[in-house]
Amino acid sequence: MSKELVFGHQNPDTDAIVAAKAFSYLQNKLGYDTEAVALGEPNAETQFALKHFNEPAPRVIEQAGNEVDAVMLVDHNEPQQSVSDLADLTVTHVVDHHRIANFNTAQPLWYTARPVGCSSTIILDLFKENGIDIPANLAGLMLSAIISDTLLLKSPTTTPADEKAVKELAQIADVDYETYGLEMLKAGTDLASKSDLE
């Protein structure tokens, strides 16, 4: 099987970065050869989460067709939010929680969308269905993504599945998700304001 790249949308938020890392980890366990990459640098909030859980930021790419023929999308499906040369690539897998818009394929594919608050909530289910354990640091990042997308389970897009996922992931990561979540959201806000002032 040829190598595939896995990535979230442009101007990545924490879910776009983390879901790529988590889905790539899962797919590699299932026998695929994938690498998680990103379509931009992690923002301040995501940097805080990566540092807290001691995980590297994914490599940033401008295009994918120079490296691979096929890709997996997470946290988006709209081509205008995706890699610049998407039209030249085969999308084999999608995990997403957004509406479907202008997404067309030439061939059948694996596509899992759920109307929940975060892609990482869906990916937790995929790990469980496949009986694959989530390393503690990755669980901490997935927790961070759900906290980010749902504003600590307060946003109107939050579902019972997100609440359940936060509790399960917090246990695996061994963190108090409310304390950690406030720190993470604050880190994003602080640094964003600071960067605005500079």
| Residues in contact with a second copy by the rule CB under 8 A | 92, 97-116, 129
Burial readout 130-144 (b: 16 or more C-beta within 10 A, e: otherwise):
eeeebeebbbbbbbb
- Write down the least CB distance from residue 11 to Mn ion, Å: 9
Any contact of residue 75 with Mn ion (CB under 5 A)?
yes
Closest to a second copy by CB, 49 or 122: 122
Euclidean distance between CA atoms 190 and 192, whole angstroms: 5
Closest to a second copy by CB, 130 or 193: 130
Closest to a second copy by CB, 37 or 148: 148
Between strands 34-38 and 90-96, the pairing is unpaired
> Which DSSP string corresponds to 124-193?
HHHHHHTTPPPPHHHHHHHHHHHHHHHTTTTSTT--HHHHHHHHHHHHHHT--HHHHHHHHHHHHHHHHH
What token pair was written down for 72? 């997996």
Single residue of 149, 166, 181, 188 touching Mn ion by CB under 5 A: 149
Closest to a second copy by CB, 61 or 73: 73
Residue with nearest beta carbon to Mn ion: 15
- Write down the least CB distance from residue 179 to a second copy, Å: 30
Choose the contact partner of 105 out of Mn ion, a second copy, none; CB within 5 to 8 A by kind.
a second copy
Closest to a second copy by CB, 114 or 191: 114
Amino acid sitting at position 49: A
- Write down the least CB distance from residue 8 to a second copy, Å: 16
> Binding string, 88-127, against Mn ion, x = CB under 5 A?
-------------------------------x--------
Say how many residues touch Mn ion, by CB under 5 A. 6
What token pair was written down for 164? 């359940």
What token pair was written down for 46? 């995501």
Any contact of residue 15 with Mn ion (CB under 5 A)?
yes
What token pair was written down for 94? 């999608």
